[in-house]
Structure 1
């Protein structure tokens, strides 16, 4: 690994965007290196839900969706100026990216998941796609433990892998949920050979399934992956084109030349407090993010800005409500828990610190976060807000990391949680006093919610008024599955932070994924994809998978542009001949 080494393409970051850029570039016959600063590869994508939002995908011969319908929907929900050519490129190229994934052998299935603005023109319920469970040991026993492992919150009892169907079955205690638990446990304990290798479940689900499938193909095509290798700076030639990058491996710095392109795919800046303070109207704390701790610190954005790159949409995050609790058996350390769907369950409501509702709690998690920001700017009394619920809710539903009563009764809740991480009282008035919310205001908010539950209609915010809201309600609650009375003592409250799934803004790019300078001119040989780049959707979150869909698509687009510039148009058969060598992971 001398200073003279070079590759056709160097990819910074090993998440979905980087993996796709590497896979496509290698398929086009280019030599590729992925550098990843963390000890585990797979990025934030590997610990995500693994959903891809792909309009007009045509899976299973479905021709119901169209380019025009997708653009109509996106134009109806985006409220800030965006690059129209880049938005259209996403709609046009995402189906081609998906076709490439399928041709490469990655299985993809469509789900019934409503777009997050289901009442807008062009909305559908089939644009969110998933990859089925992947056998991690297909990567090899020395490789599969090196992929970033799912959070405890996505595993049963912090140990056993669950796919999305199993997750939602247990989350709702749907019919047959006990059988689902039994099957999950049986699968794991009967897999004795894997437990000889390590404790990790061989079943890669959700984001791990997606990344496992892609990396099996990436490594088979001879792509080299170096972990513990962080970007320090980008280097340019006399013409201002990016020609190399300096990296750091445990303090040892060296230079890698990139003959045809560098693809920045290293995630956003949500773990950089200085950048949050610079860009966000309500900065929040890095610790409230639900992405891997201290991972996405904006190094690629900073390196890009140093050579003249511009940014866009940096005031926005991919918001999601979160809460924190002590880690099991390590109470001085904390885990962040998502509460995306918990905040909209019946028998609960959310109030700001004045005791006043401010949002349709069952709305999409990104819109929930936007409402928190807007309310805080207006009142100064949000971020955090409070999720308030009663014993009926507590019996059945989780509240972030607080499992339902059937799994974690109050008697088993650690004593140091009460009055610090969660609160309980026999009356709403006592609860209000504990959380320092005006008693009258909270009682009035609850009384109004109880009236809405009885009528089945929420005239304040429309909770439960569309298909997305109702998807995560309780079908056993009538007349509105999202509205239930908050009436049964004891009453509970947990603080809800404005967390995130990453940042929406980043380096400004064009429709070919090229990074642009302040004048809108592409910086030679420099590309960005994923949360390194500004979202093509501006300020909105169209549907489940709207982070990974563009990440994959613009990683694909970047690789195509690099290959075309390099004059490499190798046939698919020729690529296959070149890709017989196994890839490797190098520390």
Structure 2
């Protein structure tokens, strides 16, 4: 194959991928005086990071401490050991806790990346020792994308559901205030809308806000920081294989502008190219069944597992290949990818049922555990829970969003697209008629609703304890008593929406050590090869400790990898 290679160039570090972990790697490498190239398969940069919430889970962060928050290294380590399920070496856990606070301080001191603490966003597993009711998740500030210049059209934009009214940028903190209907939320929303409306100059150019939010804000700020350092980003450059010489990774072969090109890396190659969730063959080989790439909330055609297969070919060990960052999804016709359903499941008055019309999980549970419960119920009870169905009544429909359906007080049924009825949502005057439409046992559904109505009255869900901890209540309606996550399902018409066993990326991949070096089965590193993010086996092991537990490690180990390469150089 080498004989077919045309052209050759050299850099100290080559980064494959353009998500948050990849860009952090490139930025820190450049700050260490190394020459860097970033290559990206797509015609858009940002990967799945750009369509995410952009949060990062950083124990002992300086933002929380500045507001008087109390955290400790030992408490965070205790929590991580429990949350990860004992499958991750303590050296890797400590490497994360040691470097995560340093990483965010470095970025905020030397780049355009800016974060604020989400004080109220709790760790996901409140029953585990060492968890906190808030303060470890950081939320990106809004970022003015006009500074990206000619590269703005190539920025991967977040999902419409990440924007207010599908157009207006808001932080996760602001979105939470609106969704939980905290005091003053209406005035806040009006202020955001007014800010957008008065930006006349920008609105003549685009129907979207000039400001990026959430993951798009993070990616935009990282890319602008790389522009400041004159770090090149090659789009539409597909990674094909590693160049290995004498057991050391010394470059990559890519296809660019229709030609295969070999690029040499004097110091190292860093994989930051995402998982394999869009590769149906690999999904069927590794993930639980049934599985469909079309259920994933990540961009189609990307994240095909090229880094995983190249690493295995180079002798890398792997781990956690049967795991994913699960999240239930809703398919919307004509949209590029399904939408993840994260917060809406906690709103009072929505229930999730299987084919027997029975609940099988706390609807407000973390999204990873929610989909795991879908698989477990399908296998254990024989009831069809893939897909599952979220069911709600007219009161819920009026007050709350669900997937692409904005509250009816903003977007009544008459304004919904006609083709959505029977594809995105189902509607009927009674629960029995609704059950018949979606193939669910009507008696089971009616009994489930009867139970939920009683739970709403008493405030106690005796089956799954929904609303029984601070994480559940984070997205509950603060105005609903006695339990902000429980309300009756009794007022017709009734609605249902299909929930698939989706994901926001795979969790398994190339095994790495505490320096982000890819290792062989014997634990020895493959010289010159590093992996961060979803192409590596997650440092979070079996769990999902808190919001930002994907991007936080990706960026942290990107920071670690770049510094390790620089130190070796």
Question: TM range, normalised to the smaller chain?
Answer: over 0.9
Partner of residue 43, structure 1: 47
Q: Give the Å deviation of 1:550.
A: 0.1
Partners of 2:337 and 2:248 lie apart in 1 by: 42
Measured on the aligned residues, the alpha-carbon RMSD in Å equals 1.8
Partner of residue 135, structure 1: 144
Q: Deviations over 1:115-174 (max 9, x none)?
A: 0012321111100002211111223x2122321112111123332322223323443455
Partner of residue 405, structure 1: 408
Query: 2:445 is paired with a residue of what secondary structure?
Result: helix
Partners of 1:284 and 1:257 lie apart in 2 by: 38
Q: Deviations over 1:476-512 (max 9, x none)?
A: 2111111111111111111111211111111111111
- For residues 532-571 of structure 1, the aligned pairs below 5 Å read 532-566=535-569
Q: 354, 357, 364: which is aligned to 1:355?
A: 357
Partner of residue 366, structure 1: 368
Q: 226, 236, 243: which is aligned to 1:218?
A: 226
Greater CA drift, 424-433 or 8-17: 424-433
Equivalenced residues, count: 559
Q: 263, 282, 287: which is aligned to 1:275?
A: 282
Partners of 1:325 and 1:284 lie apart in 2 by: 18
Partners of 1:334 and 1:234 lie apart in 2 by: 31
Partner of residue 420, structure 1: 423
**8 A contact 1:352–1:358 mirrored in 2:** yes
Partner of residue 107, structure 2: 101
User: Residues 84, 476 of structure 1: CA spacing in aligned structure 2 closer, same or farther, 3 A cutoff?
Assistant: same
Q: Give the Å deviation of 1:408.
A: 2.1
Partner of residue 83, structure 1: 89
**8 A contact 1:383–1:498 mirrored in 2:** yes
Partners of 1:346 and 1:208 lie apart in 2 by: 30
Partners of 1:153 and 1:32 lie apart in 2 by: 34
Partners of 1:322 and 1:242 lie apart in 2 by: 38
**8 A contact 2:172–2:214 mirrored in 1:** yes
Greater CA drift, 98-107 or 128-137: 98-107
Greater CA drift, 161-170 or 4-13: 161-170
**8 A contact 1:172–1:396 mirrored in 2:** no
Does residue 11 (structure 1) correspond to residue 11 (structure 2)? The answer is no
Partners of 2:469 and 2:293 lie apart in 1 by: 33
Partner of residue 312, structure 1: 319
Partners of 1:11 and 1:283 lie apart in 2 by: 34
Partners of 1:335 and 1:231 lie apart in 2 by: 23
User: Residues 197, 474 of structure 1: CA spacing in aligned structure 2 closer, same or farther, 3 A cutoff?
Assistant: closer
Greater CA drift, 77-86 or 217-226: 77-86
Partners of 2:396 and 2:77 lie apart in 1 by: 39
User: Residues 479, 196 of structure 1: CA spacing in aligned structure 2 closer, same or farther, 3 A cutoff?
Assistant: closer
Partner of residue 25, structure 2: 21
Q: Give the Å deviation of 1:197.
A: 4.7
Query: 1:392 is paired with a residue of what secondary structure?
Result: helix
Partners of 1:250 and 1:442 lie apart in 2 by: 56
Q: 326, 341, 354: which is aligned to 1:339?
A: 341
Partners of 2:204 and 2:397 lie apart in 1 by: 39
**8 A contact 2:356–2:444 mirrored in 1:** yes
User: Residues 495, 8 of structure 1: CA spacing in aligned structure 2 closer, same or farther, 3 A cutoff?
Assistant: same
Query: 2:202 is paired with a residue of what secondary structure?
Result: helix
**8 A contact 2:180–2:474 mirrored in 1:** no
Q: Deviations over 1:349-373 (max 9, x none)?
A: 1111121111011111121112112
Partners of 1:92 and 1:446 lie apart in 2 by: 48
Does residue 377 (structure 1) correspond to residue 379 (structure 2)? The answer is yes
Query: 1:142 is paired with a residue of what secondary structure?
Result: helix
Q: Give the Å deviation of 1:108.
A: 2.2
Partners of 2:82 and 2:488 lie apart in 1 by: 34
Q: Which runs of 5+ in 2 are unaligned?
A: none
Does residue 123 (structure 1) correspond to residue 131 (structure 2)? The answer is yes
**8 A contact 2:346–2:473 mirrored in 1:** no
Q: Deviations over 1:409-437 (max 9, x none)?
A: 12223333223331111111111111111
